Structure 1
Amino acid sequence: MQPTGIVSLAVAATAAALFTTADAHGQMLVPAYRHITAKYRKDCGALNGAGDEELQYAPMELLSQRKQKDFPEAATFNILNGCRGTVYEEGNNVTTLAPGKSFDVKWIIQAPHPGTMKLSIVKPSKDSVGKITYENYKTIKTVDPFAQNGGEGSTTATMPSDVTGCESAGDCALQTNTSPSTNTSPSTNTSPSTQTTPTATTAAPETTKAPSTATTPSTSTTESSVAGEAESSKCTRRMRRH
């Protein structure tokens, strides 16, 4: 049941992100990622022929080039919206994250390649035709170095206590951005941020018990920054607890 009338804010997270560069890829495990839905496939045009894993892992600049005149995408569909074209839909699962409380972030790396991961709160912005782009609201965690080794990794992040405008499911999302290390050889890495994969989360006015503490990665630093720029290449996804 969607919470209503509760004053305290919480970002509800459906977030399992994917990380993709030329030589590294992986997936967020916690929070849980936003899945490819029937509506997504109805709206995505020629991308409908791709499997779920390809839509969640393949470089976004390659997916964006897959078009057919006789199979156009919906005017509201935007593969480069920062959530790989996924948007909040009524009935999506949502995980509420209480302001000022820590929560677990877990991932798995199948092909390691050093880089940096940033976890941010993003908010959807809609244009005149209804096309949604997710814009950065606050960056709440930076992990650097990231993806140096394969296998599972984890850290904890803290939901800021001053988050506003995230009272209802769909108002906000958690977005995970990854970028390759600047110290790696150009021959084994590519710099475009669109090579990385997104994850998204949602917000709802309900607090939950603080999650158990996860083990920390080799190095992580936190930051809290506000920006109005669109994170067009990556994002997190949504989940509701009942």
Structure 2
Amino acid sequence: MATLTKKHKSLNEKLGDNQKLYSIDDAIQLLKDLQSAKFDQTLEVALNLGVDPRHADQMVRGMVTLPSGTGKDVKVAVFARGDKAEAALAAGADKVGAEDLMEDMLAGNLDYGRVIATPDMMGVVGRLGKTLGPKGLMPNPKLGTVTPNVADAVKAAKSGQIEFRVEKAGIIHGGIGKLSFSNEALRANFDAFVDAIVKAKPSGAKGKYLRKVGLSSSMGPGLKIDVAEVHGG
């Protein structure tokens, strides 16, 4: 077992009771102080919501643009033809096509973080339901990934727009930036993420909506956030 440095012993002591509630800013700083991995870790947020997503009127899903970006290079594939295809390429899409792109994906080439399509291409994209659906990549008009404005959708995906979707247990997870970001940048991303989920509160939600909030890093501990400090909490 690796020997703990004095710094890490001190920081572990700071964690103390794992039931302690932290302010958002203190949690961000503590996770930065605790990082020891040799890569730039992601700051992750988890929200426990008062919803049961098995009911359609309690589903929480949408997109949010993180003002400070994600720190990740998102690969984007676009289903489009003609001028729309050219516009998507000009906007920075990594792969653009039609039937050829469909066949490529059916062959297992699915290394994309976002798949976008023009409305007229959904007949082709529909054949990929069982391929893209389980990976959460199926284009959806409600999320803005089925759109005639593919160039704008590509730019949004590349500049920090992420999708959120509640899981069966009523929890939403999201990566909201790298620990190398400034504290202010991470706090701005946190606020934007939470605000988007608060605004997406479904009509069927009963009782307290935002029940628990946690922050963690890729290799770090999970810290409980004082919900009273969180907008909408």
Tell me, yes or no, whether TM beats 0.5: no
Q: TM-score, normalised by structure 2?
A: 0.27
Q: TM-score, normalised by structure 1?
A: 0.27
Query: Which structure features the higher share of strand residues?
Result: 1
Query: Which structure features the higher share of helix residues?
Result: 2
Larger Rg: 2
